[in-house]
Amino acid sequence: MKVGFIGLGNMGAPMAANLVAAGHQVTGFDLAAPCPEGVAKAPSAAEAARGAEVVITMLPNGAILRRVAEEIHPAMAPGAVHLDCSTVDVDSARAVAEAAQAAGLAAVDAPVSGGVGGAQGGTLTFMAGGPEAAFATVSPLFDVMGQKAVHCGGAGAGQAAKICNNMILGITMIGTCEAFALADKLGLDRQKMFDVVSTSSGYSWTMNAYCPAPGVGPTSPADNGYQPGFAAELMLKDLRLSQQAAEAADADTPLGQAATALYETFVESEDGKGMDFSAMLPRFEKRGRG
């Protein structure tokens, strides 16, 4: 398949490289990052999109996505698919889908879960929104870049699924870290805590697969000085998106709101920036009740 790829950062570059390795013809563009080996470099986003059957974007936020869409849609061939893998606000995803439809194109919003490791290993999960026909067109690319793709519904449904998932993740990580910090102060051994909770009703992904306590459970960023697998500032971005969506939808999300405020403090006023989102545990360790 002839693919344009715009946004070749930490996630985009390995995703594009995997497409090349699978035999797809990929032309890429990024304002700063170099093209991976095998990806032809275009002088602009529009040129990367020209003649492609699918154009993939992996961009930092909705405002940039909207600007890039304005640039690439006129260059894309009628019937081509704009596959956006960024994590952005639902309104931007829907606006880009409407613009694509008006230009005679199809659009799929498909944010990812799995982080840089998943991008490198081709094991990402894609949460997709958009027409079924367009989802079917890009499915062979999902098969290369990931291990699972779920068609969640119409335009914006992929972004909705991503931010709801990550709101749960942020809330659960805070609860897991609070519980470990409390266990410490109660004199409970961390391994014993893990042995009980990981097989009891407190079971969760943050406890069982991504334990924030070093030396406990499977290897996680906690065992590497909290170097980020998923950075705290990225969690904050997703939590803010969840609250933006909750406000627009008039949804009551008090725990999502509290988690957003905690990560905001951690990233912007403490030492959380550049740390894994599980580094909330040492934060709570140092704190008392007041």
Query: Which residues are annotated as catalytic?
Result: 162
At CA 230, angle to CA 236 and CA 169, rounded to 5?
A: 65
For residues 276 and 273, what is the distance between their CA atoms, to the nearest angstrom? 8
**Side-chain-facing half-sphere of 60: CA atoms under 13 Å:** 5
For residues 65 and 173, what is the distance between their CA atoms, to the nearest angstrom? 29
* Secondary structure (3-state) at 268: helix
Structure tokens at 2: 């002839």
For residues 86 and 61, what is the distance between their CA atoms, to the nearest angstrom? 7
Contact between 142 and 111 under an 8 Å Cβ cutoff? The reply is no
Give, in order, the Cα–Cα distances in Å from 137 to each of 3, 13, 54, 143, 162. 12, 22, 9, 12, 21
**Side-chain-facing half-sphere of 152: CA atoms under 13 Å:** 23
Structure tokens at 177: 């870290």
DSSP-assigned letter for residue 74: G
Q: At what angle do helices 254-268 and 157-185 cross, to 10 degrees?
A: 70
For residues 26 and 18, what is the distance between their CA atoms, to the nearest angstrom? 10
